[in-house]
Amino acid sequence: MPDDTKTTTADAPAAPGRKRLVSGPGLLLVWLYGVMVVGAVSRSAYQISTEFDRAPLAYALSGAAALAYAFITYSLVRGGEKARKAALVCCAAELAGVLAVGTWTLVRPESFPDATVWSDFGMGYLFIPVVLPVTGMIWLRSKR
């Protein structure tokens, strides 16, 4: 007798060899990274297209942050061991960027006439940019 039950993609198991990374708290992590993608892309796209000559370093760093957030979000959704490792490396690079830019904006604020996503350790984004990569690395290590 045929099975008439329907399965959605959310219920479907991950492809062979791919471990799901977005179950449980991982789903919240993907959602937060998705929000950061929208915020960082919107901000950097506007700033780069309209005011780039005012603060090119700050706006380029906001663009780099947007790319990092987008890559991590994609990797988390994709799943699998390669994606997990890539996201882990990118989270570490993101944290290094947040710490470097955050320190730089405190030590030499004149270098940043306008804020970046990572300025002051992400203060303009409720410090999510400094907490998110740490949380991401903890989650990704637990899914090994």
In b/e form, how buried is each residue of 7-16, taking b as 16+ CB within 10 angstroms? eeeeeeeeee
User: pLDDT tens digit string along 82-130?
Assistant: 998 999 999 999 999 999 999 999 999 988 888 888 999 999 889 999 9
Q: What are the φ and ψ backbone dihedral angles of 57, each rounded to 5 degrees?
A: -65, -50
Whole-prediction pTM:
0.80
pLDDT of residue 143: 80
pLDDT of residue 128: 93
DSSP per-residue letters across 55-79: -HHHHHHHHHHHHHHHHHHHHHHH-
Domain boundaries, the chain: 25-142
Q: Which helix (H) or strand (E) holds 119?
A: none
